[in-house]
Amino acid sequence: MDRLVIDDLELKGKRVLTRVDFNVPIADGKVGDDTRIRAALPTINKVISDGGRLILMSHLGRPKGKPDSKFSLKPVAEHLAGLLEKPVVMAADCVGDSVEKQVSKLQDGEVLLLENVRFHKEETSNEPEFAKQLADHGEVFINDAFGTAHRAHASTVGVAKILKEAAAGYLLQSEVETLTKMLESPEKPYVVILGGAKVADKLQVIRNIITKVSAILVGGGMAYTFLKARGTEIGDSLLDDNSIATAHNAMVVADNPHPEKRLDFVLPLDHTVASSPKAPDFQTSPNGGIASGAMGVDIGPKTIAAFREKILTAKSIFWNGPMGIFENENFATGTIEVAKAVAEATGNGAFSVIGGGDSVAALEKAGVKESISHVSTGGGASLEFMAGIDLPGINALSKAKKKPEVAAQ
């Protein structure tokens, strides 16, 4: 990447202020799924083993800009100490005199975790004075929080602009490098699978990748806006009226008269339909249309088979968004079958990238998470990256130093 990375930094004896994404589930004072904490370990271990003085900061949940013990990072400090097998000192706040004292006492290789940065409303509004107080804790800055890279907050963008050296941690670096490969040099056939409810977000992705992919498979609630744009009856299914014209344009581009530029744009061929998202009764609609009084809640068996066939031809796969209202077990089949097909294709040699909490949850439900090439830690951030939007958290990092040119032999 064209930004400074952790391996470019001299860490010994330095105060290393590091933004991580420890936004993990907490129940009864204990950390639940610790994937995000583990994902930051390579960066954390590098700072410790190089003799840096590590000051970690993160957000947790949405505490509305003031302290709320429900969202304290204390359980994370305990959990991290267990993973590192060494003490992790927990600060009572992220700024202020007592925190400054704790920072100044840190020795080489020691770890301090600041309290939730979102206990201050100045975090999300990126107030310069608050950013300066955070930045004063460190001599160098590392951002390893890909999940918040699309947000311009004080702990991501504010501090990066103040400290002279602001570098990507290993996790951020690997996310950026992987997604860049999916945008710039994916091996073909390249199959992109999109689902979920928000059409507008995914239309931006479609616009940015449409000339680079072999097939786009659309499922989930967003598919109904596309079906409507094709003139299909969609009954009471989810519809984004404002996106119908853009959806129509995307399908016109996909249907390019030039055979080499044409791509498969596959919409659901059948559906699971119900009277509401929570209805106990449901049926399979035998074809693309849905009568009024019913809504599409999952892709149907013909669609699953068609998607699976396409997925198994792929050498590169990007997937974001569920194929149905998968929170309801009755409507989770499409999402789980797609997860299994992506895992199978990966086993056959495809490179697969999956982002978005729902898709990742489906991988877990299907028991195939370990079979995926790259599970992104940032749903929103990965989607914006794929849409070609500059992520402020990455943009704020220092530019990479020019490598000295190798003299000609």
Q: Which residues bind ligand AMP (CB under 6 A)?
A: 196-198, 220-221, 238, 296-297, 321-322, 324-325, 327, 356, 358
Q: Between 123 and 358, name the residue whose CB sits nearer to ligand AMP.
A: 358
Q: Which is nearer to ligand AMP, 154 or 238 (CB)?
A: 238
Length of the chain in terms of residues written: 409
Q: How far is the CB of 297 from ligand AMP (least distance, A)?
A: 5
Question: Do 184 and 308 touch, CB atoms closer than 8 A?
Answer: no
For the CB of residue 255, give the shortest distance to ligand AMP in the complex, in Å.
24
Q: Which of 161, 181, 198, 308 is catalytic?
A: 198
Q: Smallest distance from the beta carbon of 322 to ligand AMP, in angstroms?
A: 5
Catalytic-role residue among 19, 36, 151, 310: 36
Are 146 and 171 in contact by the 8 Å Cβ rule? The answer is yes
**Of all helices (H) and strands (E), which one includes residue 159?**
helix 159-162
82 is catalytic: no
Residue 207 appears among annotated catalytic residues: no
Residues 6+ apart with CB under 8 A from 269: 287, 288, 300, 302, 303, 306
Q: Is 357 a catalytic residue?
A: yes
For the CB of residue 235, give the shortest distance to ligand AMP in the complex, in Å.
Answer: 11
Gap between the Cα atoms of 123 and 65, Å rounded: 8
* Whole-angstrom distance, CA of residue 34 vs CA of residue 243: 37
**Cβ distance to ligand AMP smaller for residue 189 or 334:** 334
CB nearer to ligand AMP: pick between 178 and 328: 328
Q: Which two tokens stand for residue 191?
A: 């199959």
What the block records as the tokens of 66 is: 């003031």
Residues 6+ away with beta carbon under 8 Å from 60: 22, 23, 24, 26, 71, 72, 73, 76, 116, 118
Distance in angstroms (rounded) separating the CA atoms of residues 323 and 249: 22
Grouping H, G, I as helix, E, B as strand and the rest as coil, residue 3 is strand
The angle that helices 379-386 and 199-209 make with each other, rounded to 10 degrees, is 40
Task: Please pick, among 96, 357, 367, 388, the residue that the annotation labels catalytic.
Answer: 357
Q: How far is the CB of 380 from ligand AMP (least distance, A)?
A: 9
Q: Which is nearer to ligand AMP, 95 or 229 (CB)?
A: 229
Residue nearest to ligand AMP (CB): 196
Q: Which is nearer to ligand AMP, 138 or 296 (CB)?
A: 296
Contact 83, 39 (CB under 8 A): no
Alpha helices in 264-378 (DSSP H): 301-311, 333-347, 357-366
Task: Work out how close the CB of 77 gets to ligand AMP at its nearest, in angstroms, rounded to a whole number.
Answer: 31
The catalytic position among 138, 324, 380, 393 is 380
53 is catalytic: no
Beta bridge partners of 298: 272
Annotated active-site positions, please?
36, 198, 357, 380
